[in-house]
Structures are given as structure tokens and as C-alpha cells.
Amino acid sequence: MIAKKLILSIIIMALAPSSLFAANATDILHRAETADQYINYRGKKTASVLYDKKTVSAVIKVVHTKPDNTRTEYYSPAPLAGIVMIQDGPNLWKYTPRSHAWEQVRSSALMPYDDNRRGAFDNYDIQLIGTDKVAGRNTYVIRAVPKQGKESVHRIWVDTASYVILGTQVINWHGAVVTSSRYTSVEINPKDISPSVFAITGKVKGVPKPGNVDFHVAKPSYLPKGYRMVGKVGVVVSDHCCVHSQFSNGINSISLFQRKCGGDAAPKRLLGKATTVLTWARAGMLYTLIGDIPRAELQKVADSIR
């Protein structure tokens, strides 16, 4: 009898940490996704991208004040050096040293936060897999494993004290790390962040207003499991009236761009060194499909568009 109780106690003790982690992963993710609303921070980080089969790293400085002001400065690599991004509430601005001007980034439809997170939990197993140190701070390591299909595995490192996300990693369906980021130094709630760092000063370029869409907006009859349409916006791109249809599974997204064109002879072709892009023309329309999913899957989506 005593032996049975002992065995039962050992089993309970062995299972307790994993069940605790499972219960906390959801809470940690929610706190991490909303931490920016309550925390100020400043730091430097590196962001690495698998580009043309090589890893390219960028050095970035980030300054954030609650609830939604963020200034991001890019120091390297060369194509990005000198670029500054400022998030001012719903507005996103980009400064490029080549043009010496600010330009408002034309946004896609803003996705409702709750809908998006529901998609993440529906389509991924969210797990707390351990703890780690990032920039000298303790972090939780959360992993999102796709429940179905060939999707990437995502990891985030969340500061245990502030819940600010201090690191990310994406591993694709081939097991390759395609992107990662990690703070090398960070200050939580510094007292000396000036509001002027979020000011847009100097030359500002205008953004073309979207025109009327005078064509049938096509839809794919096939989407990978878990994806659904989350938005559709009309934009003007290089004088063309264009529709951007947006699909998401909560963590990953697919974009379909459609506009009129003068011919239908261009066959499907693959572009992109860092992401999968398919473009083709048919029946007087030019289509461009972008998504971080296997090419065969993207091709199936493309073939189903009518």
C-alpha cells in the first residue's frame, strides 16, 4: 500500500512541471503579446535572415514607450543602414537616407487581435519548453508547433519580469532556421526616453489614394488547413489599382495581389530569395502570391484562384 502511494506520488511529481508549463504557456504568450502596452524599453538586437542560402544579420536599435510608440534604427547590413521606422499608434513611418524623406507605409488591414490569437491556438500547439538567458535577463522559451501541414515552428524568448519578447526564431519545414532575432542589450523602463525621438520631422512623401476597383476580385478555392481570409484592401501601386487579399492562420500569412494587365501570356514563375513569390497573368489580370509555405502548397493555392 505504501509502495503504491509512493509510486503515485512520484508519477504526480513527474507530471506536475509539464502540466504547469502547459497551463502557463497561454498566459505567458498573452502577456508577451500585450507587454508593449505597459512597458517602456530600449535596447540593441541582431536580426538574422536566411537569404539566398546565406544568413544575413542586421544590427538594430529599438526604443519603445507605452502604449504604442516605437522607433527602430537599422545600422547594418548595407542595404538597410540608415533606415528608421517609427510606429506612432496605427501609423507606420519609414525614413530612407537615399531619399532623405519620410514615407507613410501603406498598411494592410489591421487584424483584430483576439481573432488572430484564436487562430494561433487553433492551428498550433503552444508549449512552454524551458527557460534561457537573453541579454543577461531570464526568459521563458515558448514554442508553437503546427498541428497540421508543412508549416514553420516558431519560438519566442519572453522576459520573465516584464514579458517583453527578447528573442524569436522560425524553423521551416526542412528544419532550417530561416529567421531569428535576439536582444544583445536591453533596459526595461528607462527614465530618459524623450518623446522627440518619435517625431516625424523634415520632408514627407505623399501616399497615393486607393482608386475604385473595377474588376472581379478573385479568391482561391484552396487554402492550406487553418488559413482564412482576414482582410482585403485596395491600393495604388505604380499607377495600377490593385487589391491585396490577406490570409492568415494566426502565426503565418499569405498575400494575394491582383491588378489589371494588358496580356495573359506570362506563365507562372517563381521569384524571391528570402520568401516564396509566385506571379502570373491570366485573362487580363496579373496575380502575385506571397507566402512562407512550401512552393507546392503555394502553387496549389495559385491554381485554385478564379
Residue 271 near other proteins by CB under 8 A: yes
Strand intervals (E) in 135-176: 137-146, 153-159, 165-171
Beta pairing, strands 240-248 & 228-237? antiparallel
How many whole angstroms separate alpha carbon 115 and alpha carbon 230?
9
Is residue 301 a contact partner of residue 220, using CB atoms and an 8 Å limit? yes
**Of residues 15, 20, 129, 266, which one binds other proteins by CB under 8 A?**
266
**Of residues 114, 195, 269, 296, which one binds other proteins by CB under 8 A?**
269
The smaller minimum CB distance to other proteins, of residues 6 and 118, is found at 118
Residue 67, preceding bond cis, omega within 30 degrees? yes
**Of residues 275, 283, 303, 306, which one binds other proteins by CB under 8 A?**
275
Strand partners, 71: 63, 86
Residues 200-229 touching other proteins, rule: CB under 8 A, are: none
Tell me if residue 13 falls in helix, strand or coil.
Answer: helix
**Of residues 24, 26, 104, 116, which one binds other proteins by CB under 8 A?**
116
Binding string to other proteins for residues 225 to 264, with x set by CB under 8 A, is what? ------x---x-xx-x---x-x-x-xxxx-x-x-xxxxxx
**Phi and psi at residue 46, to the nearest 5°:** -115, 140
Residue 95, H or E segment = strand 91-96
The smaller minimum CB distance to other proteins, of residues 5 and 269, is found at 269
Binding string to other proteins for residues 132 to 161, with x set by CB under 8 A, is what? ----------x-x---------xxx-----
Q: How far is the CB of 3 from other proteins (least distance, A)?
A: 45
The smaller minimum CB distance to other proteins, of residues 6 and 112, is found at 112
Residue 47 near other proteins by CB under 8 A: yes
Strand partners, 126: 144
Q: How far is the CB of 222 from other proteins (least distance, A)?
A: 19
Q: How far is the CB of 156 from other proteins (least distance, A)?
A: 6
Residue 47, H or E segment = strand 41-51
